[in-house]
């Protein structure tokens, strides 16, 4: 009951009145009017609550009026093809943009779309647009998961029972055969859309990044478009010229405070840091430790610690830290020199399609130097579409012919791309150096280069022990290509050079946390079996710290068994002191280290697993142990899994099929987890 109700109730019960008095006195009338007014006011205020004033921060952009209906957008702009992408590292988005641009060559009009930005329940309305088609370029992340930007779409597909009759679709899946759940997301989208009544107009494409993803995509695409022309009754225009997506604007007189210098979202976000921190707003974490882990050998293995004090960032053991590296200054300078441009020119690349959500390919306005240093991937060998579009600028007809040939699906062209670009590992600088007739305008080059992506590292610490610090373990990538060029890994070279103090300033790392399903068991009393050779030991340093902390809290902690490995005990035994101390304190129940090259016959972690098969089988089959694998997916993870099959066969009395099924069930129950990379 409100105050108005209380007043109304109490004041409408007057004391007994004498008969000769008027029915209502002046006071009664006044009170009655007052009460009626209060009731009306209360009723009106209930109907329309006073809006709470919003206090906008001066540096915050105005609320977005972005269109969330892709159907309305397609109708408004005369598009009939929409290409959705699920992308974690940018490749799915890149392929979607290529397909969207292709549509124009076939008399159709396409748009690339991030499913996170649109209401995907509108998919059923696609039939309202004549000759319409939805293409899905869907990457699989981790253990068969959707990418971050496709998570909501995946959830909707699982929950919806909507009808998609009349919706035409096709799917190209991006994955890696070395992973257990190869192309799981693409295959699921393909199957689920059909179940909901949509019509598959071209077969599911399977892209394998362990082989040649670019070749898989080009082959699928070159079969796909002729099939679409036939389906829709249209003919290719035969237009081979490059289709620019962005136009260059040079800023000759601009306030430099309005120019991006490496920020990923909000301008000046690196100067005034504000939580929450995420992919578009990373935290600049100061580096407090950067030490070499290996005592000898020709490799550089490193341990870094970054400080997250005051950031409100929280993490759990098993999570990933994403860092944003920058490209080597020498390579950026050489690109500027070879193309004869002033790298400090301030420019914007503006989308020619005014209706596009993507106004620029990277934050603008900025300089060419910033774009090539912070925003563009100039180290990876370029994809065939980049060569195709740049071919027009080669003055030597032979160079032009070869570049176009490499972008085709003809066997000769595929072989040329494989040898000249992939096997010789030529990045864009190497291609420009080796093809002197090729001198494209730098703005077109910047338009075509893919975005430089964050790199993910398994966190090598526990927040229970280090709440304000995140530890990273990495190995420097460095090798000489067939053309004699020294190639350095972008992120690991950048991390190696992150000295604790640099000219009196603290070195910082732009970072954010990516949550993982790689988690210690809920019950601390469950045994854990950790297998992580090389830098695969990283998340287990966090697990070991956490199990030690739980013991200190008086919790009952199950067996904690570690299988790790390195080449030589005296050279690259990572975290030797910490591991031996943890074993001495009883935090690690059993420490098993494979020194692969300290004897004539190589010894790996899978060999040690077989040696301890009785203990392992008891822990897994009787004691409900959880198994964790971290490291190389291509060989190690597969060999380790085979070792577990063999143990289940021998000690569980199973056939190979039953053993495989047994391990698969452990995976389903969350008792066999992998954090692997290829």
Alpha-carbon dihedral angle through residues 144, 147, 150, 154, given to the nearest 10 degrees:
20
Task: State yes or no: 417 annotated in a binding site.
Answer: no
Task: State yes or no: 351 annotated in a binding site.
Answer: no
Task: State yes or no: 677 annotated in a binding site.
Answer: yes
Task: State yes or no: 175 annotated in a binding site.
Answer: yes
d(CA 396, CA 402): 10
Note if the bond before 365 is cis, omega within 30 degrees. Answer: yes
Task: State yes or no: 480 annotated in a binding site.
Answer: no
- According to DSSP, residue 381 is labeled P
Q: Please report which residue ranges of 90-131 form alpha helices under DSSP H.
A: 91-105
Task: State yes or no: 639 annotated in a binding site.
Answer: yes
User: Counting beta carbons within 10 angstroms of the beta carbon of residue 501, is it exposed (0 to 12), middle (13 to 18) or buried (19 or more)?
Assistant: exposed
List of residues 6+ apart from 556 with CB closer than 8 A: 524, 525
Task: State yes or no: 171 annotated in a binding site.
Answer: no
Task: State yes or no: 494 annotated in a binding site.
Answer: no
Count CB-CB contacts under 10 A for residue 548.
Answer: 21
Give the active site residue among 42, 156, 617, 677.
677
Task: State yes or no: 210 annotated in a binding site.
Answer: no
Torsion sign across C-alpha atoms 63, 64, 65, 70 = negative
Task: State yes or no: 240 annotated in a binding site.
Answer: no
Task: State yes or no: 597 annotated in a binding site.
Answer: yes
Give the active site residue among 461, 630, 632, 673.
630
d(CA 675, CA 515): 12
Please tell me the total number of residues recorded for the chain in this structure.
Answer: 678
307 tagged catalytic: no
Task: State yes or no: 564 annotated in a binding site.
Answer: no
Give the active site residue among 458, 462, 507, 673.
458
- 560-566 vs 505-506, strand pairing mode: unpaired
Is the Cβ–Cβ distance between 496 and 588 less than 8 Å? no
User: Counting beta carbons within 10 angstroms of the beta carbon of residue 156, is it exposed (0 to 12), middle (13 to 18) or buried (19 or more)?
Assistant: middle
3-state secondary structure of 116: helix
Task: State yes or no: 453 annotated in a binding site.
Answer: no
Task: State yes or no: 92 annotated in a binding site.
Answer: yes
Task: State yes or no: 180 annotated in a binding site.
Answer: yes
630 tagged catalytic: yes
Task: State yes or no: 642 annotated in a binding site.
Answer: no
Task: State yes or no: 90 annotated in a binding site.
Answer: yes
677 tagged catalytic: yes
CA nearest 331: which of 321, 323, 320, 339? 339
Q: Measure the CA angle with vertex 317, ends 546 and 613; round to 5°.
A: 75
203 tagged catalytic: no
Task: State yes or no: 64 annotated in a binding site.
Answer: no
Task: State yes or no: 181 annotated in a binding site.
Answer: yes
Active site members: 458, 630, 675, 677
Point out the annotated binding site for FAD. Answer: 455-458, 473-475, 479, 489-492, 677
Annotation: binding site for NADP(+): 299, 535, 596-597, 602-606, 639
Residues annotated within a binding site for FMN: 87-92, 139-142, 174-183, 209
Binding-site positions read 87-92, 139-142, 174-183, 209, 299, 455-458, 473-475, 479, 489-492, 535, 596-597, 602-606, 639, 677
């Amino acid at each position: 009951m409100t105050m108005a109700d209380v007043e109304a109730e109490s004041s409408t019960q007057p004391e007994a009145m004498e008969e000769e008095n008027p029915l209502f006195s002046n006071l009664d009338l006044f009170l009655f009017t007052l009460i009626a007014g209060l009731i009306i006011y209360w009723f009106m205020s209930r109907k329309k609550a006073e809006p709470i004033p919003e206090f906008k921060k001066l540096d915050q952009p105005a609320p977005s009026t972005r269109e969330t209906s892709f159907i309305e957008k397609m109708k408004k702009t005369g598009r009939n093809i929409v290409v959705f992408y699920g992308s974690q590292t940018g490749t799915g988005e890149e392929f979607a943009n290529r397909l969207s641009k292709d549509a124009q060559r076939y008399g159709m009009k396409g748009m690339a779309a991030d499913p996170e930005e649109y209401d995907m329940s509108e998919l059923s309305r696609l039939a309202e647009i004549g000759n319409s088609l939805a293409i899905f370029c869907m990457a699989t992340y981790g253990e068969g998961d959707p990418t971050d930007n496709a998570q909501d779409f995946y959830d909707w597909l699982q929950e919806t029972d909507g009808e998609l009759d009349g919706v035409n679709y096709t799917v190209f899946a991006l994955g890696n055969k070395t992973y257990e759940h190869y192309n799981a997301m693409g295959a699921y989208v393909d199957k689920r859309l059909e179940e909901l009544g949509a019509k598959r107009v071209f077969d599911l494409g399977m892209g394998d990044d362990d082989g040649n993803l670019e070749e898989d995509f080009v082959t699928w695409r070159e079969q796909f478009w002729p099939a679409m022309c036939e389906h829709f009754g249209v003919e290719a225009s035969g237009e081979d010229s490059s289709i620019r997506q962005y136009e260059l604007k040079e800023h000759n007189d601009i306030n430099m405070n309005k120019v991006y210098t490496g920020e990923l979202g909000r301008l000046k976000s690196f100067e005034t840091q504000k939580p929450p921190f995420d992919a578009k707003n990373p935290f600049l974490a100061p580096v407090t430790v950067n030490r070499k882990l290996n005592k000898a050998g020709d490799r550089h293995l490193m341990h870094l610690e970054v400080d997250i004090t005051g950031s409100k960032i929280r993490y759990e053991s098993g999570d990933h830290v994403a860092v944003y590296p920058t490209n080597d200054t020498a390579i950026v300078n050489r690109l500027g020199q070879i193309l004869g441009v002033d790298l400090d020119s301030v420019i914007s690349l503006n989308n020619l399609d005014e209706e596009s959500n993507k106004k620029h390919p990277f934050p603008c306005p900025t300089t060419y130097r910033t774009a090539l240093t912070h925003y563009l991937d100039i180290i990876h060998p370029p994809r065939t579409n980049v060569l195709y579009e740049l071919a027009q600028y080669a003055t030597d007809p032979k160079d032009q012919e070869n570049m176009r040939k490499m972008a085709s699906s003809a066997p000769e062209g595929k072989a040329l791309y494989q040898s000249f670009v992939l096997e010789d590992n030529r990045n864009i600088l190497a291609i420009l150096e080796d093809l002197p007739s090729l001198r494209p305008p730098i703005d077109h080059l910047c338009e075509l280069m893919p975005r430089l992506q964050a790199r993910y590292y398994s966190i090598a610490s526990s927040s229970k022990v280090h709440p304000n610090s995140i530890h990273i373990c990495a190995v420097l990538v460095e090798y000489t290509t067939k053309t004699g060029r020294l190639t350095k890994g972008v992120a690991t070279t950048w991390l190696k050079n992150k000295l604790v103090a640099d000219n009196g300033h603290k070195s910082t790392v732009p970072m954010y946390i990516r949550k993982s399903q790689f988690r210690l068991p809920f019950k601390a009393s469950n045994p854990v079996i950790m297998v992580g050779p090389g830098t695969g030991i990283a998340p287990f340093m966090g697990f070991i710290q956490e199990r030690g902390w739980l013991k200190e809290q008086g919790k009952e902690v199950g067996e904690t068994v570690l299988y790790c490995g390195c080449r030589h005990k005296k050279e690259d035994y990572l975290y030797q002191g910490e591991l031996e101390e943890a074993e001495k304190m009883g935090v690690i129940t059993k420490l098993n280290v494979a020194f692969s090259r300290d004897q004539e016959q190589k010894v790996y972690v899978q060999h040690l697993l077989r040696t301890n098969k009785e203990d392992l089988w008891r822990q897994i089959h009787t004691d409900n142990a959880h198994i964790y694998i971290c490291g190389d997916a291509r060989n190690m993870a597969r060999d380790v899994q085979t070792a577990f099959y063999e143990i289940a066969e021998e000690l569980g009395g199973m056939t190979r099929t039953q053993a495989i099924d047994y391990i698969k069930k452990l995976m389903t129950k969350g008792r066999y987890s992998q954090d692997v990379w290829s």
